[in-house]
């Protein structure tokens, strides 16, 4: 600890494309999720940081094959701009890098029910519960050691991004869970971390 | 263009359902079903529940038949307009009449729109609309006399006639003092037109939309649909909805209809395909 008094904030939001303006419907299908994302990202950039590190997961094979721009960065960019952030967006962060503002775009399993995008896989529940616990405890080691292969099988888009968050090894003092739910069979979290270095 | 229909204003991307309510014993589609005032009032309640923004109340069937003078038309329509106005303050009330004398009375009772289905047969109508602050529907009839069927009517250039007449009528209305936002144009399917003509104005409706005047279409269960599909009244809904879809794709704003729910669904679907309206809900593939 340097004792610099620097406030470090990190926020986790989902990468659900329904958050994007270009896919808006007349009615917001998940208003509680939208409100939580909006509130958390506004909190993140409240002090107008010059840059935000954005941690996302690489696109899936299908996304890459179709040539669409990466989802995670798009969601991050959208939420940041809507929150009034006009600074620099930096993709990624090196392990151990001293960061001040971090936005993580990550989801849990997309196989949490028979109508879920990936149908039902019972392993989803234990997997997501472990991720949620690691987020709530700000357990960097647990995040870093998430099972990449199981995550991929469960269509969990968040694993690489959450591992990158764990690798920052932030000395988190305060955790707020603003949203946890799976309204469409995909596990979403909106989590805020804060610490003072 | 924003629509100002009497007391009511609608944004420029709104499409509106105008439900037909006949105060006649002999109209072609309902055959007098709402001739009794209470039944007409019940129909208003039904179409409001179904989401219609406008009711179009008419006291005279369009086709030839028993003579209905102005006094009788007023008797059929005016007190009914007052009753509907009182019961449904937020509903747009249109009256289907070509007579300035009738228009003056119904506007005093609370009508918001004068639907001149006979294309300016009575030159006094725009002044009445202007004085009352009512909207005016300017239709194309090819100059035929009210309540006549088209007989061997032909046009050197149908769309030129439709565009020239409706735009000239719209300009006349504005010159008479009608608010620019309160003028609609209507090609008037079947009026002064054979089936080929009605099909052509449907196909080329985009030329009316391109004038910038908001376009109203009245397609519901008409003879051009019946002749096209060789179907009698009562079996024309599918054909009506197909024509509605074409009109919606071209950008028509107001739909004068018997069937509100079905038409609303078609118009919303087409406008969403056209990119003018978002889906009501979009989660598939986006969770």
Contact, B202 vs B241, CB < 8 A?
no
Predicted local distance difference test score (pLDDT) of residue A1: 46
The answer to whether B281 contacts A29, with C-beta atoms less than 8 Å apart, is yes
DSSP code, position B167: H
Average pLDDT (A153-166) is 96
Find, in chain B, the residue whose alpha carbon is nearest to that of A19.
Answer: B286
Range of the structural domain that residue B34 is part of: 3-273
Count of the separate structural domains present in chain B: 1
Predicted local distance difference test score (pLDDT) of residue A59: 85
Provide the strand spans (E) within chain B. 3-5, 8-10, 16-22, 54-58, 92-96, 113-116, 135-139, 183-186, 216-218, 254-257
Contact, A114 vs A120, CB < 8 A?
yes
The answer to whether B283 contacts A18, with C-beta atoms less than 8 Å apart, is yes
Find, in chain A, the residue whose alpha carbon is nearest to that of B280.
Answer: A26
Predicted local distance difference test score (pLDDT) of residue B29: 82
Which chain A residues are Cβ-neighbours of B281 within 8 angstroms? 25-27, 29
What residues have CB less than 8 Å from A188, skipping those under 6 apart? A14, A16, A33, A107, A108, A179, A180, A181, A182
- Annotation says B222 is catalytic: yes
CA distance, residue B258 to nearest chain A CA (Å): 27
Question: Is B172 inside any structural domain?
Answer: yes
What residues have CB less than 8 Å from A181, skipping those under 6 apart? A32, A33, A187, A188
CATH number, domain at B33? 3.20.20.20
Domains, chain A, with CATH or none: 7-196 (3.40.830.10)
- pLDDT tens-place values along chain B, 287 residues long: 899 999 999 999 999 999 999 998 888 888 888 888 999 999 999 999 999 999 999 999 888 888 899 999 999 999 999 999 999 999 999 999 999 999 999 999 999 999 999 988 899 999 999 999 999 999 999 888 898 888 889 999 999 999 999 999 999 999 999 999 999 999 999 999 999 999 999 999 999 999 999 999 999 999 999 999 999 999 999 999 999 999 999 999 999 999 999 999 999 999 999 999 999 999 999 99
Give just the sign of the alpha carbon dihedral A73, A78, A82, A88: positive
Which chain A residues are Cβ-neighbours of B285 within 8 angstroms? 17, 117
pLDDT in tens, A67-90: 788 999 999 999 999 999 999 999
Which chain B residues are Cβ-neighbours of A155 within 8 angstroms? none
Name the token pair of A53: 């590190």
Find, in chain A, the residue whose alpha carbon is nearest to that of B287.
Answer: A16
What is the per-residue DSSP string for A54-93? EE-PPPPHHHHHHTPPPHHHHHHHHHHHHTT--SEEEE--
- Annotation says B193 is catalytic: no
Question: Is B189 inside any structural domain?
Answer: yes
Give the Å distances, CA to CA, from B281 to A18, A165, B44, B183, B277: 10, 33, 29, 33, 11
ipTM, two decimals, is: 0.86
């Amino acid at each position: 600890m340097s004792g610099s008094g620097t406030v470090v904030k990190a926020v986790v939001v989902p990468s659900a494309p329904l958050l994007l303006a270009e896919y808006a419907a007349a009615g917001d299908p998940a208003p509680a999720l939208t409100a939580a994302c909006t509130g958390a990202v506004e909190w993140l950039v409240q002090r107008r940081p010059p840059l935000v590190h954005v941690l996302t997961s690489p696109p899936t094979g299908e996304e890459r094959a179709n040539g669409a721009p990466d989802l995670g960065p798009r969601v991050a960019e959208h939420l940041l701009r809507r929150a009034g952030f006009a600074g620099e967006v930096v993709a990624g962060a090196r392990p151990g890098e001293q960061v001040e503002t971090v936005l993580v775009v990550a989801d849990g399993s997309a196989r949490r029910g028979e109508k879920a995008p990936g149908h039902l896989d019972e392993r989803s529940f234990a997997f997501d519960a472990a991720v949620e616990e690691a987020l709530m405890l700000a357990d960097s080691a647990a995040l870093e050691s998430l099972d990449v292969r199981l995550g991929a099988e469960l269509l969990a888009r968040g694993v690489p991004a959450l591992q990158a968050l764990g690798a920052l090894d932030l000395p988190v003092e305060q955790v707020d869970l603003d949203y946890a739910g799976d309204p469409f069979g995909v596990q979403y979290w909106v989590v805020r971390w804060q610490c003072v270095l | 263009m924003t629509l100002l229909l009497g007391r009511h204003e609608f944004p420029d991307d709104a499409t509106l359902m105008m439900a037909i309510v006949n105060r006649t014993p002999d109209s072609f589609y309902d055959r007098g079903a709402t001739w009794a005032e209470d039944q007409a009032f019940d129909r208003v309640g039904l179409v409001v529940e179904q989401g219609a923004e406008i009711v179009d109340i008419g006291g005279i069937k369009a086709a030839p038949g028993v003579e209905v003078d102005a006094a009788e038309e007023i008797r059929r329509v005016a007190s009914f307009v007052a009753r509907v106005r009182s019961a449904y303050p937020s509903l747009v009330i249109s009256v289907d009449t070509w007579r300035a004398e009738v228009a003056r009375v119904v506007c005093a009772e609370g009508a918001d729109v004068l639907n001149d289905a006979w294309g300016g047969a009575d030159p006094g109508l725009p002044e009445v609309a202007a004085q009352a602050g009512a909207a005016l529907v300017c239709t194309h009839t090819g100059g035929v006399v009210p309540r006549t069927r088209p007989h061997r009517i032909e046009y050197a250039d149908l769309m030129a006639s439709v565009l020239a007449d409706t735009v000239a009528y719209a300009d006349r209305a504005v010159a008479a003092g009608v608010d620019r936002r309160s003028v609609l144009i209507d090609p008037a399917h079947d009026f002064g037109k054979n089936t080929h003509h009605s099909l052509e104005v449907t196909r080329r409706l985009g030329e009316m939309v391109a004038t910038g005047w908001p376009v109203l279409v009245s397609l519901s269960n008409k003879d051009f649909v019946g002749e096209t599909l060789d179907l009698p009244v009562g079996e024309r809904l599918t054909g009506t909805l197909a024509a509605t879809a074409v009109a919606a794709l071209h950008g028509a704003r107001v739909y004068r209809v018997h069937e509100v729910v079905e038409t609303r669904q078609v118009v919303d679907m087409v406008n969403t395909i056209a990119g003018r309206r978002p889906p009501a809900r979009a989660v598939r593939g986006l969770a």
